[in-house]
Amino acid sequence: GQNIDQPTEMTATEGAIVQINCTYQTSGFNGLFWYQQHAGEAPTFLSYNVLDGLEEKGRFSSFLSRSKGYSYLLLKELQMKDSASYLCAAMDSNYQLIWGAGTKLIIKP
Amino acid sequence: EAGVVQSPRYKIIEKKQPVAFWCNPISGHNTLYWYLQNLGQGPELLIRYENEEAVDDSQLPKDRFSAERLKGVDSTLKIQPAELGDSAVYLCASSLGRGVTDTQYFGPGTRLTVL
């Protein structure tokens, strides 16, 4: 079957760095997406990886290892506004996104 | 550029009543998705449209849910009759196509409460 695993909740301190891990199993693979979702709001696109390696975009970076079925989202210089849920989603061979349950990130001052 | 528009934002109904949600995708986006999201969970696909054709509705409970996308633009999702377990956020998303680089953009969602 198809499955996405990510931690339910993480806590970090303002100004620090946090890494949110995601493992996936899909029928075929067409890339890995990360979305941010603030409470009561819609998911917003953060990053897309299809090749192995690290993609950096400002304070956010995303890494992919296709052979390990593994990705992580790295957030640097954490700000209070980064408190949100982070959703990992893998695209399968039918171009359908398989979503994880999300990781709730709590930032403390 | 306007984003995905959904209405209403909130809806409270009694069980067994009908309810409808409306979505206007980003202009030029051919692919439209309806998702259901429960608290603390990721979105679950209900139906995907390519223009006006429903190409993936395998997860749509067809005994009570229906959807349409007339003229390949706006879409409506209907539940009749609603059940208590239908309480959730209904998200609409759109993308240029369904390819790997076609990012899905989400609307604000409709929060449905069934009493």
Which tokens hold the place of A99? 């979503």
pLDDT at B95 (0 to 100): 92
Q: Which of B5, B37, B60, B92 to mutate to test the interface with A (most CBs of A within 10 A)?
A: B37
Is the peptide bond prior to B81 cis by the omega test (within 30 degrees of 0)? yes
Smallest Cα–Cα separation from B9: which of B68, B66, B92? Answer: B92
pLDDT at A1 (0 to 100): 77
pLDDT in tens, A49-76: 999 999 999 999 999 999 999 999 999 9
- Report the C-alpha gap between A81 and B110 in whole angstroms: 23
Identify the bridge partners of residue B75 per DSSP, sorted by sequence position: B23
- Report the C-alpha gap between B48 and B56 in whole angstroms: 5
- Collapsing DSSP to helix, strand or coil, B86 comes out as helix
pLDDT at B13 (0 to 100): 97
Is the peptide bond prior to A7 cis by the omega test (within 30 degrees of 0)? no
Work out the pLDDT band at A30, boundaries 50, 70, 90.
very high
pLDDT at A24 (0 to 100): 97
Q: Which of B106, B111, B113 to mutate to test the interface with A (most CBs of A within 10 A)?
A: B106
Smallest Cα–Cα separation from B36: which of B104, B110, B97? Answer: B110
DSSP state of B25: P
pLDDT in tens, A10-22: 999 999 999 999 9
DSSP state of B74: -
Higher per-residue pLDDT: A85 or B1: A85
Contact A102 B109 (CB under 8 A): no
- Report the C-alpha gap between B90 and B87 in whole angstroms: 9
Q: Which residues of chain B have pLDDT under 70?
A: 1, 98, 100-101
Mean pLDDT of A14-40: 95
Q: Hey, is the C-beta of B39 within 8 angstroms of any chain A C-beta?
A: no
Q: How far is A80 from chain B (nearest CA, A)?
A: 20
B41 contact residues in A (CB cutoff 8 A) = 101-102
- Report the C-alpha gap between A26 and A72 in whole angstroms: 17
Contact A43 B101 (CB under 8 A): no
For residue B76, CA distances in Å to A43, A64, B52, B93, B109 come to 20, 37, 12, 13, 13
